Amino acid sequence: MTQPATVTSPELSPGPPQKPTTWSDRARDRRRAVAARLRGGDLGLLPVLAGLVVIWVVMQILNPIFMSSANLTNLALESVPVGIIALGVVCVLLVGQIDLSVGSISGLSAAVLAVLFVDRGLPAWLAVTASLVLASLIGWFYAQVHNRIGVPSFVITLGGLLGFLGVQLWILGPKGSINLPYDSGLVAFAQLQFLPPWLAYTLVVVGAAVLYGTGAARAAERRRAGLAAASRRLLVGRSLALLAGLGAAVWYLNRDRGVGWMFVFFLALVLVLHYVLSRTSFGKSMYAVGGNMEAARRAGVNVKAVLTMAFVLCTTLACVGGILSASRLAAANQSSGGGDVNLNAIAAAVIGGTSLFGGRGSAFAALLGVLVIQSISSGLTLLNLDSAYRFMVTGGVLLLAVSLDAVARRSRVSHGRA
Amino acid sequence: MTAATPSPCLPNASLPDCLPVLFGRSVMTVESLPSPRASSGSPLLSLRGISKSFGAVAALTDVDLDVSAGQVVALVGDNGAGKSTLVKVLSGVHQPDAGTVGFDTGAVSVTSPAVAQRLGIATVFQDLALCENLNVVENLFLGRELRGLRLDEVAMEVRSRALLGELSAKIPSVRVPVAALSGGQRQTVAIARTLLGDPKVIILDEPTAALGVAQTAEVLNLIERLRERGLGVIMVSHNMADVRAVADTVAVLRLGRNNGLFDAAEATASDLVAAITGATDNVVSRRAGRDRTMGDGADPAVGDRAVGDPAPGNGPAAAHKGEAS
Ligand SMILES: Nc1ncnc2c1ncn2[C@@H]1O[C@H](COP(=O)(O)OP(=O)(O)OP(=O)(O)O)[C@@H](O)[C@H]1O
Ligand SMILES: [Mg+2]
């Protein structure tokens, strides 16, 4: 990254098909593109990774229990519900919209699940399905109001925030709280089920192997087509790093209860969404709609369908988060999805590097963002600081993240790239 | 471009053809539809009576335009004449308030850009319409990615490089976001976009406005090649040199109305300028004067000829064009 990026390189010079010079030249072009992107204000996941390290170091210094296996095991599980909601928030932010009602929807979903499962005695899968269908219909409804009437999503979902909180209170009725039985699969999944160590290690190895395999296949294909490709050294290094990092994490967590199934489920969702966003035409159209809606429309993208999918994904993931949150608590009550759930989910997405201005972000933003938020929360709780401090610190971090987003955006403008 | 290539619309257009326009009527009247042109290959794209207003602003009033396969129509007019609006009506961005669009054989309604794309109408917009957060390859293939469920990145990148190479694009890397490109680089990307897919008509709204000398020459060459491949091309431009270099016919818009249809090889710069600026009485006298003094292509029977009559088509005009290109 030491080379300054020049505006024109001879890579696409005029004339008949020319073989673009040598390998190292192309690798250099690639490095230049990366360097130019960074300086241009396209920071990706770097700030949040740095922030996470800082927070962990500070918290560990303040309280040595913070980095203990027991606390980290807990932290991982605690992160999942809000993290999954944040995953949905990433979807709407990517298309340049917002959903302020994810908290209410997660609470409503928990309430619907509890009423159907406990009060009505329906099987769990049916109650979960009903809850998911209801949430996806809410997203569809938001999209219709937005697409047909043109109400800004900010206002629609602000209405949803209040309205669906009302529905939640209404269906919970006067007693206001429904306990989920401890012996139900849902509660077990969210609280008690951990991967056996051999399976956890196997998954780590498989993950590293898949990372190498897909990377090598891609590189080979690119090389065959005469394009710049990642070197074998880079691929091996990357997957060894993943192997070592995840292996160490699993080993450390296994000193306590281990890796929760719920956390694995969250990781799987992150990976699926990452694939959809980066490797499918639907994902590209989401970025396009968030980047320049009119350009996307003129390119033939069905903008309304993309927006609808984004809203539906968001509310559906909010529902999944709400159900897992209730399962973890073994109860759905009037405060399910209330308090700071809503803003934590949105903050997680933004802290992770998803732009509030649309068109920038990734699935990993939700994962890293929620780890930041839960780390702050867990660390302050360990210090016996109550929610007053938690709110203040989280608010400060959010402000920092949004400022970073705005500064990055201004830097893009000043580099003539926004 | 050779003299043998038919120029079905208005070969040898001359004074009498233009008279109706010059006196405030549109040339392409409905009567001219079943003219001999039909036999010589009916227009690929034909607009009739297109009107479009934005609130109180009448951007287009009763505009007609024809483009045949293998024909380059230049659309000229002053700022605000309605050129871009017409382009946007054709590409499905705006819906016309009145009028019909005929494409290939039947009447179509271009209700959205996606419909235009399916029909085979590709457009480079004046306001370029690229997504700045996406890179060059992603922009080129936006809306028509290869293998939607598992993107074929390699094929797309190879195709993009080849395409941009053809256009002599000076682009550092196809993997940089479009936001990092200069205006001219973006314009090249936008032009390259239209060549993907399999368009029948390509509309370029001021394609060379931001381009350097070499790139302008490439785009003009490209337009020639498109014509040879039998595509219809509509090019909006303020640059009369470019217009005269590649266009077969020149359609003038003024204040949202047709204001003349010229054969590019015949019309003088002052004719066009007069039609663009609206000095209609001058153009009549000037043209008349020119025809008298030059006395070449002005054949005596011209007054009786129907608009677009192909009969004397490959006469002096076409020959002249052959030299020009
Ligand atoms: N979206 C819009 N809303 C309102 N008025 C518009 C809109 N688009 C164009 N107009 C008006 O329509 C008229 C024609 O505009 P248009 O963009 O078609 O001009 P043009 O011929 O392309 O000009 P230029 O040479 O400057 O590109 C102008 O008076 C303009 O103000
Ligand atoms: Mg214009």
pLDDT digits (tens, 9 = 90+) for B168-185: 888 888 988 898 888 888
Match 């159209």 to its residue by tokens: A285
Are residues A180 and A243 both part of a single domain? no
| Domain-located, residue A306 | yes
A217 Cβ contact list (under 8 Å, min separation 6)? none
Q: What whole-number distance in Å separates Cα of residue A71 and Cα of residue A69? A: 6
Q: Is A189 found in the same domain as A221?
A: no
Question: Is B61 close to ligand 1, i.e. is its CB under 6 Å away?
Answer: no
Residues 6+ apart with CB under 8 A from A156: A142, A145, A146
CB contact at 8 A, A377 and A394: yes
Token pair listed for A262: 């719920």
B134:A287 CB<8 A = yes
* pLDDT of B114 higher than 60: yes
How far apart CA A280 and CA A303 sit, in angstroms, is 16
Domain that holds residue A367: 48-55+62-193+281-405
- pLDDT band at residue A38, thresholds of 50, 70 and 90? low
Regarding whether A287 and A223 lie in a shared domain, the answer is: no
- Whether residue A182 is found in the same domain as residue A96: yes
Of the two residues B28 and A112, the one the predictor is more confident about is A112
Q: How many residues does chain B have?
A: 325
pLDDT reading at B18 higher than 70: no
So what's the pLDDT on residue B105? 76
* Residue B165 in this model has a pLDDT that exceeds 90: no
The last residue of one of the domains, among A210, A229, A259, is A259
Give domain status of residue A177, yes or no.
Answer: yes
Atom of ligand 1 nearest to the CA of B94: 1
- Per-residue confidence band for B19, with pLDDT thresholds at 50, 70 and 90: very low
* The pLDDT of residue A362: 93
**Average pLDDT of span A122-126:** 95
Nearest protein Cα to ligand 1, atom 28: B80
Identify whether A255 is part of a domain. yes
Beta bridge partners of B53: B58
Among B113, B114, B165, the residue with its CB nearest the CB of A17 is B165
- For atom 26 of ligand 1, the residue with the nearest CA is B79
How far does chain B reach from its first CA to its final CA, in angstroms?
7
* Closest-approaching ligand to the CA atom of B82: 1
**pLDDT (0 to 100) of residue B264:** 85
Residue nearest to atom 8 of ligand 1 (CA): B85
* Domain presence at residue A79: yes
Phi first, then psi: give them for residue B72, nearest 5 degrees: -110, 115
Query: CA nearest A412 in B: which residue?
Result: B179
Cβ of B8: how many Cβ atoms within 10 Å?
A: 26
Residue A11 domain flag: no
- Give the Å distance between the CA of B94 and the centre of ligand 1: 12
Average pLDDT, chain A: 88
A296 → closest Cβ in B142, B151, B171: B142
Give the number of the ligand closest to the Cα of residue B50: 1
pLDDT at A316 over 90: yes
Q: Is residue A151 part of a domain?
A: yes
Check if B259 has its Cβ closer than 6 Å to any atom of ligand 1: no
Tell me the average pLDDT across A321-326: 96
Is there a single domain that holds both residue A183 and residue A207? no
Do A78 and A187 have their domain in common?
yes
pLDDT value at residue A37:
62
Sign of CA dihedral A207, A208, A209, A213: positive
Do the Cβ atoms of A12 and B161 come within 8 Å?
yes
Residue A302 is part of a domain; what is its CATH number? 1.10.3470
For residues A187 and A307, membership in a common domain is answered with: yes
pLDDT bin (cut points 50, 70, 90) of residue A409 is confident
**For range B26-52, the mean pLDDT:** 56
Instruction: Give residue-wise pLDDT tens across range A372-387.
Output: 999 999 998 898 887 8
A367 plus A338 within the same structural domain: yes
| Residue A80 contacts residue A325 (beta carbons within 8 Å) | no
**Residue A142 domain-assigned?**
yes
| Substitution target from A6, A9, A12 for chain B, most B beta carbons within 10 A | A12
In chain A, residues with a C-beta closer than 8 Å to the C-beta of B143 are: 285, 288, 296, 299-301
3-state secondary structure of B65: strand
Q: What average pLDDT is seen over chain B?
A: 76
Q: How far is A33 from chain B (nearest CA, A)?
A: 6
Whether residue A120 is found in the same domain as residue A175: yes
Same domain, A298 and A249: no
Give me the half-sphere count of Cα atoms (radius 13 Å) on the Cβ side of residue A109: 34
CB contact under 8 A, B143 and A222: no
Tell how far the Cα of B147 is from the centroid of ligand 1, in angstroms.
38
Residue A269 domain-assigned (yes or no): no
| A301 and A398 fall within a common domain | yes
Instruction: Give how many domains chain A has, as a whole number.
Output: 2
Do A222 and A350 have their domain in common?
no
Q: How many Å separate Cα A389 from the centre of its chain?
A: 25
pTM of the model: 0.83
- A195-198's contacts with Cβ under 8 Å and 24+ in sequence apart are A195/A258, A195/A259, A195/A260, A195/A261, A195/A264, A196/A258, A197/A250, A197/A254, A197/A258
